[in-house]
Amino acid sequence: MPASQHTRSQILIVGGGSSGGVLAVLLSELGFEVGLVDTRDPTLPFTPDSRAFAIVRGGWRVLDAAGVGGNLVNKAEPLLSMEAHDRNGLLPPAASMFGVEDLPDGVTEGEPLGYMIEVDLLNQAIRDRVNACTAITQYAPETVTGLEVGDSGAVVTLDSGKSIIADLVIGADGVGSAIRELSGIKTLGWSYEQAVVAATVQLDWPHHGAARQWFQDEGPFAILPLTENRGNLAWFRKEKAGIATAKLSQADLEAEVNQRFGDLAGPMKVLRDPLAYPLRLRLAEKLIAPRVALVGDAVRRVNPLAGQGFNLGLKDIAALVEILVESRRAGLALSDGAQLETYQRWRRFDGVATALAMDGINRTFSNSSALLSPFKRLALTVGSTVGPLRRALAAQASADKPGLPRLVRGEPLEALIG
């Protein structure tokens, strides 16, 4: 098809979920021409999602820059501390992994580690913000059927027959990314044969803003603090057991969690239908291809033990935005290969380290073999008592390390252009 028959878009983002939406808003606000493709019909409600994300403050700053954070202030619960306990009693009780007091030097005391937000509320807030950005051209519901990269642009074809030619295509289309597949980027990964059951409960005991995790033989059980003294349960089970648990009625689930965890967490009332999410680790071998960059879950799906997946996605977004602004400022093509390489080098290691660390934590704590027990104990002890490591963990979960994208460090969007 001749170029004139394609719709033109400077940047085409494929995937209008939370990562794609935030990226579209940021790039549009910075004056880029943005197209956004999503498989979902924007007039219909999202598929319910019973999870909650712990968004660390660097990630929150990116949401703020996109104008999403403000709409969520009263809906998000400050996360003040994180605790890990060993259900088997190998450790002294209430070993706090890190809290606000462990923040690195020079960081404002009293600022929370992050905020807990229910995924449904987050998704809706991002969608509302995208819809308010009238400069974004939305193509939805649409599925990508082809990607052809040439000298003058990348042509993306959609199932409606439309085709769009873009300088740069960004794959924000999740763990099963079509853009990643069409670009020939391979992934590696494995299943944990576990599923996390996510449910929202009304707590009786005050949660004091703490995320609490208990490690037990089957896998961790966590209660994450939500507003109005509610909690989001993340119960890691063997995959089949997890899926079966998510099919229980609210009353049956309530009886089950109270019986199993009532002694740890106090009485709980289940507020909505639970859902089960299989745990799979998946890493893309590359973050870029000619005229293509990947962000978020298209790059990596990590074990959501500490809710790091979306936070990593927000860091990808901040890094890519910064690089594209730099390219435009220098007069380079947005698809400039050396600039995309810089993006890949910047973001590749973070994802791998987090994925493997999460994997390590989960494996260490979930395996009940006698051989592993001393290591299990050691890992928790080291994690909870050694000052520098605790600070490093806190810094990782927060946002003030050097070398992080400017939006993650809290610089306003306008500062990128200035």
Partner 1 sequence: MSKNSLNEAPEGLSSPSIDPEEVSKFSRIASEWWDPKGNFRPLHKFNPVRLTFLRETIVSHFGLDPRAIRPLEGLRLLDIGCGGGLISEPMARLGAQVTAVDASENNIKTASVHAKSQGLEIDFRAGTAEALLASDEPPFDVVLNMEVIEHVADPETYLTDCCGLVRPGGMTVVATLNKTAKALALAVVGAEYILGWLPRGTHDYQKFLKPEQITDWLDAAGLECEPAQGVSYNPLGDSWSLSGDTDINYMVVARKPA
Site membership for partner 1, residue 28 (CB under 8 A): no
The helix/strand/coil state of 72 is: helix
Nearer to partner 1, 26 or 196 (CB): 26
What is the footprint of partner 1 within residues 269-328 (CB under 8 A)? 326-328
Q: Which residues contact 284 (CB under 8 A, 6 or more apart)?
A: 177, 180, 185, 186, 187, 294, 298, 299, 300
Regarding 329 and contact with partner 1 (CB under 8 A), the answer is: yes
Q: Looking at 262, 337, 360, 412, which residue binds partner 1 (CB under 8 A)?
A: 337
Q: Is residue 225 a contact partner of residue 79, using CB atoms and an 8 Å limit? A: yes
Phi and psi, residue 187, nearest 5°? -125, 160
Interacting residue with partner 1 among 45, 184, 341, 401 (CB under 8 A): 341
Q: What are phi and psi of 393, to 5 degrees?
A: -65, -40
Per-residue binding string, partner 1, 189-228, x by CB under 8 A, is ----------------------------------------
Helix ranges (H only) for 217-294 are 239-246, 250-265
Q: Which is nearer to partner 1, 273 or 326 (CB)?
A: 326
Shorter beta-carbon distance to partner 1: residue 10 or 124? 10
Residue 331 touches partner 1, criterion: CB under 8 A: yes
Query: Cβ distance 127 to 20 under 8 Å?
Result: no
Q: Which is nearer to partner 1, 93 or 418 (CB)?
A: 418
Tell me if 330 contacts partner 1 by CB under 8 A: yes
| 412 touches partner 1 (CB under 8 A) | no
For residues 134-173, which are near partner 1 according to CB under 8 A?
A: 151-152
Which lies closer to partner 1 via its Cβ, residue 329 or residue 401?
329
Write each residue from 31 to 50 as x if it is in contact with partner 1 (CB under 8 A), else as -, in one continuous string.
x-------------------
Give residue for tokens 């060993």: 86
Cβ atoms within 10 Å of 240's Cβ, excluding its own: 11
The 3-state secondary structure of 401-417 reads CCCCCCCCCCCCHHHHH
Please state whether 270 falls in left (phi above 0), alpha (psi between -120 and 50) or beta: beta
Candidates 90, 132, 135, 333: give the one binding partner 1 (CB under 8 A).
333
Query: Which residues of the chain form contacts with partner 1 (CB under 8 A)?
Result: 31, 151-152, 326-333, 336-342, 345, 417-418
